[in-house]
Structure 1
Amino acid sequence: MKIKPGSKGGVKAVILCPTRELAAQTVRECKKMAKGRKYYIKLMTNDLSKSGNFKDMHCDILVSTPLRLDHAVKKRDLDLSSVEYLVLDESDKLFELGFVEVIDSVVEACSNPSIIRSLFSATLPDSIEALARTIMHDAIRVIVGRKNSASSLIKQKLIFAGTERGKLLALRQSFQESLNPPILVFVQSKERAKELYKELAFDDVRADVIHADLTEQQRQDAVDNLRAGKTWVLIATEVIARGMDFKGVNCVINYDFPESAAAYIHRIGRSGRAGRSGEAITFFTEEDKPFLRNIANVLISSGCEVPSWIMALPKLKRKKHMVTRDPISTIPDED
C-alpha cells in the first residue's frame, strides 16, 4: 500500500476480517509495521460502529468485521468514497458465512473508481472464487506454495479412535505421553468445546476455551493467556480461530474431524508458521471413514505418508460433511 500517513480526506484503506479476534490481531500487526510513521489505524469496535463521530475521525486504515462496517456506513454515515485499498482477509470464509450482500454493500460504498481490491486466503474453492470474481476486475492471481495445500513443515498424523469415547481416551493418552504446549484443539461446535473444556479441567490440564457465547473480552483473554504461556491448551471452533496467528503453536489436534479439506488446511495452519516445524493430529471414528480420502489427499500433497487402504476408499462428490456425534461429557453435571 502506498498511503501517505496522516493524510486528510477520509479513510484510505479498509481491511475486512470474518471475526472480531482476527480484526483485533490485524490492527496490532498493522501498528507494528507502521511503527515510526504517523498512520492512524483504527479497529471498528461495537461502540465505534454505533456511536462514533466519523466526520471528525482521523483514520488512514480501518479494520472491521463486515456487519459492523456496514452498520457504520448505513446508520452512522461513514464515508468510504476516498478508500484506495479494500482488502478481504480470509476471503473464502467471508463469502461462506453469508456476508455476500454485506460485502456488496461495502464494495458499493467504496466508490473510488481507482480503488484496488485484494483477497487473501490459504484456500479458495472454485465456487467461492467464482463468487469473488464478481467484485474483481482484471484480477491477478498470486499463489505462494501449492494451491489448497498444507505446509510441508507440519508433521501430519491420522489416528483411528473408533468411537467418540475412544477420542477422549486417545486425547488423554496423547497428553500423558507428551504434552508439548502450546496446543490448539479443534471441535465442531461451541457445545462440544464447552464439554471438552470440562473434561480437561477435571484432568487438571491448564486449558481454556474460546467460543461464540463468551464476551469479546473473555475471548481475547483466552487468546492472550495462550500466547503468554498461562494456559497450555486452547479449545476452539474452526470459525473462531480462522486466520489467528498463535505464535509458537507446537501442535494442532483435530478432536473432531474437519468438515472439508479447506477447513483441515486452515486448522492445521495454526502450527508450522514463520518457518517453524509443527505437528497436526487428526482423530477419526467409524463415522468419519467415508470422508478420510479428502483429507488424505492433503497429506499426500504435503509429502506425508498415508495408508494405502485410505487411498482405496471411493471418492465423494460432497466436499463437506458434518457428523452427528455423541456427547463428549463423562462428568456428571453438578446439582
Structure 2
Amino acid sequence: MFYFNNYFWYYQRASKDGVRAVILCPTRELASQTYRECKKLAKGKKFYIKLMTKQLVNTAEFSKVPCDILISTPLRLKFAVTKRKLDLSRVEYLVLDESDKLFELGLLKQVDAVVKACSNPSIIRSLFSATLPDTVEELARTIMHDAVRVIIGRKNSASESIKQKLVFVGSEEGKLIALRQTFQESLNPPVLVFVQNKERAKDLYNELKFSDIRVDVIHSDLPQLQRENAIDNFRAGKTWVLIATDVIARGMDFKGVNCVINYDFPDSSSAYIHRIGRSGRAGRSGEAVTFYTEADVRYLKNIANVMKASGCEVPEWMLSLPKLKWRKHRPKRVFK
C-alpha cells in the first residue's frame, strides 16, 4: 500500500472557500463506501462531505453549496469540471484511491483532466493501493513532487491470513460442476464468486438462481439502485453468494467474507490479489479458491508466485513453468 503525504486533513477546521479535498475512486460502489466512512470520521465536526451523484452533477452549483470533501468517480468529476459547474482550483488535497486502477488506459484521460483542474500550486497529492506495478509507479511519479512511499507488508502480495487453493477443473464445463460440488460439500456464506465479465456474471446467475442458495449478481449493466441493493443485501446476510465482476474487487470492505471463488481465472496477479483481498480482512481468516482449466495453465506461474510469497504451499511444477507475458483471455463457453 502506498501513502504519499498525510491523509488526516479531516481533523482540521472546515473551510468556506469551496471544495478543499477531492477523493477519486474507480467505481461508484467504492465511492459510496468511502463517503460513508468519511461521514463516520467527521462525526461531530462541522464538515461538509459530498458524494458526486448523477443528480448532484446535473443540479449543483458548487459556488453556492458548501463542500469541504468531494468524493467521486473520474468521469462524473470530469463532466462537472468540463461543464464549469465545479471549480477545483482551490483544492488542497487530492487523493487517488486504488491508484493503479485509475492509471489504466480506460480511466487515465479522465484522471488527467481532474489532476489538471486541481491547479493549486501547493496541493498535496496522495496515492493509495494494495498493488502498484513499476510501470504505473513511474507514471504516478510524474504528478508527484518530493514523493514519500510507505509500504505496509510486502509489496504486491496477498494477505497471509487467506488460505489459498488452486483447483483444476479441466475445461469450461468443469467449472460449473466444481462450483456446485463446492457448495454442496461446504457452503459457508458469505461467499464472493468472481467472473471475468458481465456476460459471464449474467449466465452464471441464471444457472444458480433456482438453486437452494440465496444468490445475487452485480455487474455494470445493472441500474445503480439494483447494484446498491445487491451490496446491501450481501452485507446484511440476506444474500449468501454474490456473483460479481471486478467492479467490486477493488477496495470494497465486506466484513466476514469466508470465501472468495475465482470462477474465471484472473487477468493479472494484481487482479488476483485484489479479488481474494475481500476475504481475510481486519484480522479475520479467509479462504480463496481459484479454478483453472487447460487453457489457464500457461498463466499459473504468476498466481503461484503470489501464493508462495504469502506462505501457501504450491506444487513445484507450477513454479517451474516458463514465464509468459500475461494477456487477457476470455472463456469461450456460454452457459446453457
TM-score over 0.5 for the pair: yes
Assess if the C-alpha contact under 8 Å between 2:196 and 2:330 holds in 1.
no
Deviation string, structure 1 residues 191-231 (Cα, Å, up to 9, x no partner)? 00001111111323200000111011100000000000000
SS of residue in 2 equivalent to 1:42: strand
Structure 1 residues 275 and 97, CA gap change in structure 2 (3 angstroms): farther
Identity across matched positions, percent: 71
In the alignment, the residues of structure 1 paired with residue 277 and residue 105 of structure 2 have an alpha-carbon distance, to the nearest angstrom, of 20
**Equivalent position to 1:120, from 122, 128, 153:** 128
8 A Cα contact 1:288 1:323, kept in partner: no
Structure 1 consecutive aligned stretches of length 4 or more whose deviation exceeds 2 Å: 1-6
Question: For 2:38, which of 23, 26, 30 is the aligned residue?
Answer: 30
Does residue 298 of structure 1 match 2:306? yes
- The residue type equivalent to 2:176 in the other structure is L
Q: How many angstroms does 1:137 deviate by?
A: 1.4
Q: 1: distance between equivalents of 2:58 and 2:124?
A: 28
The one of 325, 328, 331 equivalent to 1:324 is 331
Quick one: which amino acid aligns to residue 329 of structure 2?
M
User: How far 1:61 moved relative to its partner?
Assistant: 0.5
Matches of 1:239 and 1:91, distance apart in 2: 15
Q: Secondary structure at 2:194's aligned position in 1? A: strand
Tell me, in whole angstroms, the C-alpha distance in 2 between the residues paired with 1:2 and 1:213: 36
RMSD of aligned C-alpha atoms?
1.2
Residue 19 of structure 1 is matched in structure 2 by 27
Q: Provide the secondary structure at the position in 1 that maps to 2:103.
A: helix
In the alignment, structure 1 segments of 5+ residues that lack a partner are 331-335
Matched-pair contact (CA < 8 Å) for 2:61–2:85: no
Question: What is the DSSP-based 3-state SS (H/G/I as helix, E as strand, rest coil) of the residue aligned with 2:106?
Answer: coil
Partner residue of 2:59 out of 30, 51, 56? 51
Partner of 2:4: none
Q: Which of 210, 215, 231 is equivalent to 2:239?
A: 231
TM-score (norm 2): 0.95
Q: Counterparts of 1:175-186 in structure 2 under 5 Å?
A: 175-186=183-194
What SS class does the counterpart of residue 9 from structure 2 fall into? coil
1:283 alignment partner, one of 291, 306, 309: 291
Match of 1:172 in 2: 180
Q: 2:9 aligns with which of 2, 21, 32?
A: 2
TM-score normalised by length of structure 1: 0.95
The question of 1:73 aligning with 2:81 is answered yes
Equivalence for 2:5:
none
Moved more, 236-245 or 136-145: 236-245
In 2: Cα distance, 1:34 partner to 1:27 partner: 11
Give SS of 1:55's match: coil
Match of 1:251 among 241, 259, 264: 259
> Does structure 2 conserve the Cα–Cα contact (< 8 Å) formed by 1:54 and 1:76?
no
1:23-53, Cα deviation, whole Å (9 max, x unpaired): 0000001111111112111000011112212
Structure 1 Cα separation of the partners of residues 34 and 167 of structure 2: 34
Aligned to 2:212: 204
Shift in Å, 1:97? 4.7
1:132 aligns with 2:135: no
The question of whether the paired residues in 1 share the 8 Å contact of 2:262 and 2:289 is answered with yes
User: Aligned pair count?
Assistant: 328
68-77 vs 21-30, greater mean Cα deviation: 68-77
Q: Does 1:151 align with 2:178?
A: no
Amino acid at match of 2:37: E
Which segment drifts farther, 318-327 or 269-278?
318-327
Question: What 5-or-longer segments of structure 2 have no aligned partner?
Answer: 1-7
Contact residue 192 and residue 261 of structure 2 kept, 8 A: yes
- Equivalent position amino acid for 1:106 in 2: V
- Give the aligned partner of residue 198 of structure 2: 190
